[in-house]
Amino acid sequence: MTTFFTPHQTLAETLLARLPDADDGAHDLAHLVRVWRNVQRIAAEEGGDSELLLAATVLHDGVHVPKNDPRRAQASRLAAAQAREILAALEWETSRIEAVAHTIEAHSFSAAIPPQMLEARILQDADRLDALGAMGIARCFYTAGQMGSALYDPLDPQAVHRALSDQRFTLDHFQTKLLTLREGFQTATGQQLADARHARLVAFREAMLEEIGDC
């Protein structure tokens, strides 16, 4: 395997071997690699335990729950429980296992669990960065396609005269979630990166509306 997870490649390979194969292109190996790169970029400025961050990054989406599943808000807790089992089998210290578990639990937007430690703040920021910018747009439309959502409501693209419904219309997801993410960043470095990616979201939405003819 290419050394995507330097300087903890051996640990990453050990953990990945214990995870089920990902069948979701928005939460696959490429996503883990991008999040790890975000983690490293943030941690270079903010600090944090690199080994703990690697373990939490690799294991944070270990249990896949589809976006339209009623158990979605439980996904990070399920992944944290799985991480506890994996790390215990590797004979990690209990305190470090619990630190990884909390970091995983708190990363999720849906779970709404406040991060209580630096590593949890870093992973939450790193993961949310991948929901912003060009990659966030790509992942949004990929997931919407998996769910069978339409691109937008041709009668009211901006939801001026109707309630937003991001399970029916992909463009609505920009207003219900993507354009709100910038406000929740936990670190100064993450916030700076988020501001730049947020601007890309805004520009894309404006361009899409112009091409639709609703701008």
Domains of the chain by start residue, with CATH: 1-117+126-130 (1.10.3210.50), 132-215 (1.10.3210.50)
Residue 148's pLDDT is: 92
Q: Which two tokens stand for residue 39?
A: 């983690």
Amino acid identity at 60? H
CA distance 80 to 101: 5
What integer pLDDT is reported at residue 154 of this predicted model? 95
Task: Read off the tokens for 79.
Answer: 């992944």
* DSSP letter assigned to residue 74: G
pLDDT confidence bin for 69, thresholds 50/70/90: low
Q: How confident is the model at residue 4 (pLDDT cuts 50, 70, 90)?
A: very high
Query: Tell me, what DSSP letter sits at residue 85?
Result: H
pTM value?
0.92
Q: Do residues 113 and 76 make contact, with C-beta atoms less than 8 angstroms apart?
A: yes
Residues 6+ apart with CB under 8 A from 6: none
Contact yes or no for 94/20 (Cβ under 8 A) = no
Residue range 97-122, pLDDT digits in tens: 999 999 999 998 777 889 999 999 99
The model's confidence at residue 27, banded by pLDDT at 50, 70 and 90, is confident
Residue 25 scores a pLDDT above 90: no
Q: How does pLDDT run across 47-64, given as a tens digit for each residue? A: 999 999 999 999 998 887
User: How confident is the model at residue 70, as a pLDDT?
Assistant: 66
pLDDT tens per residue across span 176-202: 999 999 998 999 999 999 999 999 999
CA 190/CA 182 separation, integer angstroms: 9
Rounded Cα–Cα distance for residues 171 and 104 (Å): 28
Residues 6+ apart with CB under 8 A from 36: 4, 5, 54, 57, 58, 126
Cα-flanking dihedrals φ and ψ of residue 26, to 5°? Answer: -90, -10
Residue 207's Cα: distance from chain center in Å? 25
* Residue 169 pLDDT greater than 80, yes or no: yes
